[in-house]
Chain A
């Protein structure tokens, strides 16, 4: 198996490389960071729905779609990506998805441990610290005759830019995403107080992968690979590929396994209701409700938000809670019934941001 230790490559090339090697059937470990920032979206995502295209264009941030799974993410030089490519027929590698991620994440977990960060693999395909904070996300897929697993060691992370590159319904939602990422996502810098030297991290990562996979043969990029990257870049940045529609509208933004920010909107007779909710393990952790409807007593809207915390994200349970609240607090909301709030909260998936 080959090792491509590529240092930093221009943004898109840092992600194109594994697509090219997989198409060529080259089994390898690639270690690379993007030289300039880049937004990468998953194969089933539509750039128009996921990315704030104007922000990216105004700030010179390129964007591309990858042929592997997962959600939209912001990449920059403070992330060290490991991209493992192997032939589907290679019996050395697992076939069960959960096994692939768990077994092949182990070297990344060990790398964090060598630097003093206790990290382990957790479904669904995140690497988390002992305190449960996500410190790496992974994605993978079948490309050509190969399988590919990609993950990134977070030396540092630009939370603010990440929250700005995503397409969101309003600033309230963006703020919620930012705060939730700050709370649930960590980095080597945050855990250690400083960023360790990149080269040391890379060497450790390679050593840990060698323990699992065997010795690598170091090689450099050749012209053939570079030329194929150029060709593929055209496809990956084409409107046809980037803006391919999927019928499933995004439900929200996943921060880590079990934590998600959702957006809801519903037009009731008495006005428009907007909600932003943070879900943790399928329960409402926090919710914000706004809109142009009337609600009396006014202060009770925020009390209702508090009452909804810890409620299971289930239409019936949410509706019961709101009905009960209406009754106990003698709520007067012309043209806005409890089920209108429930619809805004629960049916967010069919009425998400366009």
Chain B
């Protein structure tokens, strides 16, 4: 808004102004509790994120009984670590193997397992990924720097209902001596979507 140089809102873009106006209206009408807005933001900025999912994966890598539970009833196995609720009400875990690599998308909107991965990254919600993850998964993976052997089958999961999918990536080689916590440090967010591999360089 270059002509409003002396206005308080001079540095705000049209969308920022619009959201500010909408928030003011909602507060004025009593539809939202301003303190609740701060708690919501704090929750997703500091409490709920991909470190949660990394704990699930590292536990599955080190504890065969937990891995079996995760395979049989991911919702309960994940809840046992304290990760439950909104956008993760019904969970399924997809275990990568040398033969099968799983990759998750939501072509219709932006469905994503919030309790274990937090808020989705922009690319996950954007047309290039949503359109091509189903039709050209190998080309998509290449953009992430991942090339899998031809004989590894790629299995894409389109989250079209309220089931949320968590990929359990392959455990990197030569990690036998690492603790569960150290292993969790090797689990990057994208490896749990299936667009990267777990490991030190990711």
A, B from the same assembly: no
Binding site for B on A (CB under 8 A): none
